[in-house]
Amino acid sequence: MPASQQHDHNHCISTAMDTARTLCEQRGLRMTPVRRRVLELVWQNHKPTGAYDLLAQLSEEGFNSAPPTVYRALDFLLELGVVHRISSLNAFVGCDHPGHEHDTGFFICKECGNATELPAKEIKKLHETLVKKFSFSIETSNHELTGLCQNCKATA
Ligand SMILES: [Zn+2]
Ligand SMILES: [Zn+2]
Ligand SMILES: [Zn+2]
């Protein structure tokens, strides 16, 4: 579901939490309360959330919100593949389709701030085309496209 469209966001949250729980079980990892809460906070909406916002919210809720705790929780979630980092904003968003390795890319709307994950297969296609054309071998990639989402374009 593109973030720009009206949708039942509670469904996004519950799917994300269920998937994360399943991935942890499959890999024998522990979803501790702070990890779970950080994931929920990242999924509050489709806008990228900075680590400092997470720190502030966690400390309000009485968690041990020392920066290392939060960064460790984020590292765990990144490693599990349930969140992605948006480098240009130094912020985090939930993954649309966790559970397998994939290249990431995002549309970031400058109006509403939502980040929509680019379909991994389109990124793959683009990479294949570029590799073929320029015989450059790609190791890492970072596609962050800014502009107006469908919704904001319609109301502009
Ligand atoms: Zn949603
Ligand atoms: Zn993803
Ligand atoms: Zn927008």
pLDDT, tens digit only, all 156 positions of the chain = 566 578 999 999 999 999 999 999 999 999 999 999 999 999 999 999 999 999 999 999 998 778 899 999 999 999 999 999 999 999 999 999 898 889 999 999 999 999 999 999 999 999 999 999 999 999 989 999 999 999 999 987
Residue 79: predicted pLDDT: 95
Q: How far is the CA of 150 from the centre of ligand 2 (A)?
A: 20
Which long-range contacts does 14-17 make (Cβ < 8 Å, 24+ apart)? 16/43, 16/82, 16/94, 16/98, 17/43
CB distance 69 to 34 below 8 Å: yes
Residue 100: predicted pLDDT: 85
Q: How far is the CA of 120 from the centre of ligand 3 (A)?
A: 21
Element (H, E) at 106: strand 105-109
Question: What CATH class is the domain 9-155?
Answer: mainly alpha
Q: How far is the CA of 48 from the centre of ligand 1 (A)?
A: 13
Residue 133: predicted pLDDT: 96
CA dist., res. 115 & res. 117, Å (int): 6
121 alpha carbon, closest ligand: 2
Question: Annotated binding residue at 12?
Answer: no
What's the start-to-end Cα distance of the chain, in Å?
A: 22
CB distance 29 to 99 below 8 Å: no
CB distance 111 to 152 below 8 Å: yes
